[in-house]
């Protein structure tokens, strides 16, 4: 006794399923990446992260993750910020915490001086330390965007099974 089973599958039927699964994966990568950026303390820049799907010849797809602003990549891989000659960080008692030292002097006419051999800028008017100078700072990785993309890519076959 023999049983013949002929399975004919039209590739065009799978194109739509594959396209939907790729788009779903891209949407999940974008959503999870934005959540990771927000949990890393960069919530105001989370919407700058976008995914796009590019169709290649031969029904291959490429999912691109675009991270904006670009400095967030330093928090993905880690980096070292080096001052020229110093990074001037606002001191805790500085009321101009979000203003750069150079801009503060230029725009508000606040006079500051640097004592010889010290890495601080002191206000001439109040005598308070306005900025502390450090030569460099190490940026520790806080984001996991590559891990998220790899995890979602590993789940792609499951996503295809769910779409059938």
pLDDT at 2: 44
Kindly state whether residues 133 and 83 are assigned to the same domain: yes
Kindly state whether residues 72 and 98 are assigned to the same domain: no
With b for 16 or more beta-carbon neighbours within 10 A and e for fewer, the 152-162 pattern comes to beeeeeebbee
At 21, give phi and psi (nearest 5°): -65, -40
CA gap 160, 8 in Å, rounded:
19
CA gap 81, 133 in Å, rounded:
13
Residues spanned by the domain of 86: 79-138
Kindly state whether residues 144 and 133 are assigned to the same domain: no
pLDDT at 143: 94
pTM metric for this prediction: 0.73
Residue 106 lies in a domain: yes
Give me the average pLDDT of each 10-residue run along the chain (164 residues): 52 74 91 95 92 78 90 92 85 68 65 88 84 90 93 84 67
Token match 């769910």: residue?
162
pLDDT at 89: 82
pLDDT at 54: 85
Kindly state whether residues 17 and 71 are assigned to the same domain: yes
Kindly state whether residues 21 and 71 are assigned to the same domain: yes
């Amino acid at each position: 006794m023999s049983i013949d089973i002929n399975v004919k599958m039209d590739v065009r039927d799978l194109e739509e399923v594959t396209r939907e699964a790729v788009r779903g994966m891209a949407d999940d990568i974008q959503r999870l990446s934005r959540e990771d950026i927000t949990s890393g303390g960069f919530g105001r820049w989370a919407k700058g992260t976008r995914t796009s799907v590019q169709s290649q010849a031969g029904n291959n797809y490429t999912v691109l993750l675009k991270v904006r602003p670009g400095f967030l990549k330093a928090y993905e891989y880690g980096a070292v910020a080096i001052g020229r000659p110093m990074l001037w960080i606002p001191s805790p008692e500085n009321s101009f915490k979000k203003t750069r030292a150079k801009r503060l002097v230029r725009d508000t006419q606040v006079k500051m001086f640097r004592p010889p051999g010290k890495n601080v800028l002191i206000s001439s008017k109040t005598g308070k330390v306005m900025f502390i100078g450090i030569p460099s700072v190490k940026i520790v990785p806080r984001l996991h965007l590559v891990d998220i993309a790899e995890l979602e890519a590993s789940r792609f076959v499951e996503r295809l099974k769910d779409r059938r």
